[in-house]
Structure 1
């Protein structure tokens, strides 16, 4: 489908969050996917991923995940300085603020005449964690989480009893976990911990481990695996077409 792209500054509990919207150019209503980026925010690879998904008949929202901590429109470079700043932002923003961001985007989607009101979540790296975290909201019908960091370690700031790992049982929609076996950020022991918790929690999940490194979806850099990336997009489109 031919798509269009525009931005909205959405009011959240912690300030204005610039959000890019990719959606079909055709008239009508479409289900929405909140697409959470890496720590670098909306880089060119993230924008291309969002556009690809939108071309399959979805309204795709890409929020600036650390909007409170940066000027609007900030994009960090894939270098040491960008990595250091993005990681500092990750440790500075509590999960409760990500929750309120998700709530604001759901409210936004449900008031747009080009949306059906059905919402899913997808993300990569910290964005995979945020897609998982978004699934704690009952309005999120499905989540597709690619190499989600920091779930197993419980290291992101949150109030007592509100960490992502322990709250897995609260997920009501369908959730897909995808991991790279060669990913040092989520080692074998961490994946096993999450898997066992998914088994005992009783949630509706699917689990997949592939021979890939961290960030294998990013179409810049030496870790990119285009064959796996295509397969992941196909799986994500299938999930959201079925559930949304």
Structure 2
């Protein structure tokens, strides 16, 4: 499927949010996926991931996840400086501001003639957490969360009662949770704690642990595993085709 891409600047309660839009070129109405990036914002690997999903018949929105803290268009490098800046941004932005970002994107979609009316969320690393967080919004019908960080640690800025995992029982859509067993950011015990929390909350979810490192989806660097990435894209497409169509 041929695709096109553009961007829009959305008004949010915390400022203008540059959001990149990937969608099929053919006329029609398509379900949407909000794709949340890592701390580095829309890097080339994130853009390619969004294009892959759009090419399977989805409108894909990629927001700048720390738009309040950076000039529009900022892309951080996969280096120590980029990692330091991205992590500082992650711990500076309250979770409630990610909630309003999600609301702004849902409202934008609802005004587009190419939107079918069904939306899900997907993300990697911090974005995996944000995809999970987005599913607290009842508009989100499914979420694919890849090696989601900070779910178990309750370290992102929010009161205890507003920590994401503590609110898992509010999620109405289906979750697909994918983890790398060699990921030092979410090792065995925290993964077990997250799994138990989802069961206790009564969530509808699928769970996959693969032999992969953190960021095994990122097609730059020595942690990239192309076969695992392809498997996970196929699972995500299957989830969204079922839940959004």
Question: Which residue number corresponds to residue 229 of structure 2?
Answer: 229
* Cα distance, 1:200 vs structure 2: 1.1
How far apart in 1 are the matches of 2:137 and 2:36? 15
Question: Which residue number corresponds to residue 216 of structure 1?
Answer: 216
Question: Which residue number corresponds to residue 241 of structure 2?
Answer: 241
How far apart in 2 are the matches of 1:9 and 1:117? 21
Question: Which residue number corresponds to residue 46 of structure 2?
Answer: 46
* Cα distance, 1:112 vs structure 2: 0.4
- Give the 3-state SS of the residue equivalent to 2:6 in structure 1: strand
Is 1:176 aligned to 2:173, yes or no? no
Is 1:200 aligned to 2:200, yes or no? yes
* Cα distance, 1:159 vs structure 2: 2.8
Unaligned residue ranges in structure 2 (runs of 5+) = none
After TM superposition, the runs of 4+ consecutive aligned structure 1 residues lying more than 4 A away are none
How far apart in 2 are the matches of 1:135 and 1:165? 11
1:98-177 mapped onto 2 (5 Å cutoff): 98-177=98-177
- Give the 3-state SS of the residue equivalent to 2:162 in structure 1: coil
TM-score (norm 2): 0.99
Question: Which residue number corresponds to residue 26 of structure 1?
Answer: 26
* Cα distance, 1:165 vs structure 2: 1.4
- The 8 Å contact of residues 34 and 120 in structure 2, kept in 1 or not, is answered as yes
How far apart in 1 are the matches of 2:207 and 2:39? 24
Question: Which residue number corresponds to residue 64 of structure 1?
Answer: 64
* Cα distance, 1:177 vs structure 2: 0.5
* Cα distance, 1:187 vs structure 2: 1.0
- Give the 3-state SS of the residue equivalent to 2:74 in structure 1: coil
How far apart in 2 are the matches of 1:221 and 1:154? 29
How far apart in 2 are the matches of 1:145 and 1:160? 22
1:76-87 mapped onto 2 (5 Å cutoff): 76-87=76-87
- The 8 Å contact of residues 154 and 160 in structure 2, kept in 1 or not, is answered as no
* Cα distance, 1:160 vs structure 2: 4.0
- Give the 3-state SS of the residue equivalent to 2:73 in structure 1: coil
Unaligned residue ranges in structure 1 (runs of 5+) = none
